[in-house]
Amino acid sequence: MTRVFQVLSVGYDSNLMASRSLLLRNAGYAVEEAYSRHQALAMVRSDLHDVLLICHTVPLNERRTLISAVRKQRFLMPVLCVSMSDWSGTEDGCPVVSNTPSELLAAIDSAVKKTSARI
């Protein structure tokens, strides 16, 4: 039986979140959406998600606060930050990934492989 990996997607644009979630679901992931930092933290506490994906619509100060809180609760949970551009790198300890579908899926796949190797 194949395990379905859970992605928690956080952002403030419901249309963008819906299209990104559809992409991830079509790739075989289960996706839950959070539209606030508080909602996201409550969902992280459930310990059901394998990867946290933070949209570029989350302001930098909120993203930093969210990442810090997640690291305290789930230190090993992969956190990826989506960029509007094709820039990649690391910002605030969060790998920045492109919003391009193929690159986004590749980053999620890589994060999941690292997570499943630790299980």
Q: What is the pLDDT of residues 49-71, one digit of tens each?
A: 999 999 999 998 999 999 999 99
Q: How confident is the model at residue 90 (pLDDT cuts 50, 70, 90)?
A: low
- What residue spans define the domains of the chain? 6-118
Per the CB < 8 A criterion, the answer to whether 37 and 70 are in contact is: no
Q: What percent of the chain has pLDDT over 90?
A: 75
Q: Sign of the CA dihedral 25, 34, 70, 64?
A: positive
Separation CA 39–CA 27 (nearest Å): 25
Tokens linked to 3: 């395990």
The pLDDT value given to residue 89: 59
Class level of CATH domain 6-118? alpha beta
pTM of the model: 0.91
